[in-house]
């Protein structure tokens, strides 16, 4: 195709996409039916993992729960059954261990079947300044928050590709788009998770597997206890998010094939400003918003790390 034709095509498509977005300001997007789909959620023993399980359960899906917290998973399974899941299976799986991920994934395929919606949600935070972070915790953070996504994709993506049907959901963080002070390993792990999910999503599109969708979730602080002790400077503009609200937004994003979900909405503006403002100005703006100064990791209870 020559330059003029290709440019014209891009211009026309841009107009079409903008019109489409405008219409959807008034007309809700069509939601897909996921009844009977096998949904695997890692880190389902608490927090938004548990709430997502309940939301997916209400849509009559088959649930597969993974966590290192057996009691937490049992409780999630009970709640999910109450919410209407057609079947709930739960497995102890330490996602930081590649061999364990592959072993438990094989067990899931044998006992439940192919997973068609994969939610990589398990996550940990060290809660220490970089130089105070023990090497073992830095490695663990990368293994749980990033590397586990590689291994779960390797395990479950082939069936999705073969069927040209599936959905990959990455629960990343706003810390995967904009770094903050005192969370070096966490930010690195979440930036990597975002880049990984985005790149594989593009690879799938390029190979014509457009039936396998991607949703990348980047929320600001959520009131689950993971970041207890962290405060927001301007709660109206950047609220600490309600976990139920986040879980519902994630399910809606999956049902409408939304690729990026940033929460709260101000994160879209802040992320855009990061790329257009000069760094000094953005740092000033970040301090004003409390993006870097209010994160006091020393106050975190490292409850997740004690579990391991």
Ligand X SMILES: NC(=O)c1ccc[n+]([C@@H]2O[C@H](COP(=O)([O-])OP(=O)(O)OC[C@H]3O[C@@H](n4cnc5c(N)ncnc54)[C@H](O)[C@@H]3O)[C@@H](O)[C@H]2O)c1
Residue 298: CB atoms within 10 A of its CB come to 10
Catalytic residue among 186, 220, 245, 288: 186
138 lies in the binding site for ligand X (CB under 6 A): no
48 lies in the binding site for ligand X (CB under 6 A): yes
Smallest CA-to-CA distance from 39 within 87, 3, 84, 79 is with 87
67 lies in the binding site for ligand X (CB under 6 A): yes
Query: Closest separation between CB of residue 33 and ligand X, Å?
Result: 26
Query: Among residues 140 and 209, whose Cβ is nearest to ligand X?
Result: 140
User: In angstroms, rounded to a whole number, what is the distance separating the alpha carbons of residues 179 and 177?
Assistant: 7
Tell me if residue 102 is catalytic: no
Part of the chain binding ligand X (CB under 6 A), chosen from 7-15, 68-76, 197-205, 252-260: 68-76
Q: Which of residues 204-233 bind ligand X (CB under 6 A)?
A: 219, 221-222, 224, 226-227
Q: Residue 96: what are its φ and ψ, rounded to 5°? A: -80, -5
55 lies in the binding site for ligand X (CB under 6 A): no
Tokens 């004690």 map to which residue? 306
User: CB–CB of 200/242 below 8 Å?
Assistant: no
Query: Closest separation between CB of residue 42 and ligand X, Å?
Result: 6
Return the sign of the alpha-carbon dihedral for residues 278, 280, 282, 284: negative
Query: Which neighbouring-strand residues pair with 168?
Result: 118, 214
- For residues 289 to 308, the per-residue mask of contacts with ligand X, x marking binding by CB under 6 A and - elsewhere, is ---------------x--x-
Smallest CA-to-CA distance from 297 within 183, 169, 193, 214 is with 183
User: In angstroms, rounded to a whole number, what is the distance separating the alpha carbons of residues 176 and 86?
Assistant: 34
User: In angstroms, rounded to a whole number, what is the distance separating the alpha carbons of residues 57 and 242?
Assistant: 20
Part of the chain binding ligand X (CB under 6 A), chosen from 12-20, 122-130, 156-164, 203-211: 122-130
User: In angstroms, rounded to a whole number, what is the distance separating the alpha carbons of residues 194 and 145?
Assistant: 10
95 lies in the binding site for ligand X (CB under 6 A): yes
Smallest CA-to-CA distance from 80 within 70, 71, 90 is with 90
User: In angstroms, rounded to a whole number, what is the distance separating the alpha carbons of residues 124 and 267?
Assistant: 22
Query: Closest separation between CB of residue 47 and ligand X, Å?
Result: 2
Residue in 59, 63, 119, 122 binding ligand X, rule: CB under 6 A: 122
User: CB–CB of 265/249 below 8 Å?
Assistant: no
171 lies in the binding site for ligand X (CB under 6 A): yes
User: In angstroms, rounded to a whole number, what is the distance separating the alpha carbons of residues 210 and 14?
Assistant: 19
Part of the chain binding ligand X (CB under 6 A), chosen from 24-32, 88-96, 129-137, 290-298: 88-96
152 lies in the binding site for ligand X (CB under 6 A): no
Number of residues that bind ligand X (CB under 6 A): 31
Residue in 39, 68, 178, 187 binding ligand X, rule: CB under 6 A: 68
**Taking CB positions, which residue lies at the least distance from ligand X?**
47
147 lies in the binding site for ligand X (CB under 6 A): no
Q: Which residues bind ligand X (CB under 6 A)?
A: 42-43, 45-49, 66-69, 72, 93-96, 121-124, 144, 171, 173, 219, 221-222, 224, 226-227, 304, 307
Hey, which residues are catalytic here?
A: 186
């Amino acid at each position: 195709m020559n330059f003029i034709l290709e440019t014209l095509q891009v211009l026309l498509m841009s107009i079409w996409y903008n019109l489409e977005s405008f219409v959807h300001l008034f007309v809700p997007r069509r939601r897909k039916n996921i009844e009977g789909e096998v949904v695997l959620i890692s880190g389902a023993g608490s927090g938004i993992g548990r709430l997502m399980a309940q939301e997916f359960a209400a849509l009559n899906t088959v649930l597969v729960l993974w966590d290192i917290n057996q009691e937490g998973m049992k409780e999630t399974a009970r709640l999910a059954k109450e919410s209407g899941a057609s079947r709930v299976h739960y497995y102890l799986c330490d996602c930081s261990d590649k061999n364990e991920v592959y072993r438990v994934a094989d067990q899931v395929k044998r006992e439940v079947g192919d997973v068609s919606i994969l939610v990589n949600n398990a996550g940990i935070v060290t809660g220490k300044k970089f130089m105070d972070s023990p090497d073992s915790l830095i490695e663990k953070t990368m293994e749980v928050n990033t590397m586990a996504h590689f291994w779960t994709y390797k395990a479950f993506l082939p069936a999705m590709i073969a069927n040209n049907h599936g959905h990959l959901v990455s629960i990343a963080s706003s810390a995967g788009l904009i770094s903050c002070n005192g969370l070096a390993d966490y930010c690195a792990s979440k930036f990597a998770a975002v880049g990984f999910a985005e790149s594989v999503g593009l690879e799938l599109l390029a190979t014509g597997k457009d039936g396998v969708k991607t949703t990348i979730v980047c929320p600001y602080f959520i009131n689950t206890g993971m970041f207890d002790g962290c405060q927001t400077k301007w709660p109206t503009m950047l609220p600490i998010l309600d976990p139920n609200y986040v879980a519902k937004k994630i399910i809606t994003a999956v049902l409408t094939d939304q690729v990026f979900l940033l929460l709260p909405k101000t994160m879209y503006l802040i992320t855009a400003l990061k790329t257009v403002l000069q760094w000094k100005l953005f740092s000033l703006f970040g301090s004003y918003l409390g993006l870097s100064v209010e994160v006091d990791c020393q106050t975190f209870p490292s409850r997740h790390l004690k579990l391991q």
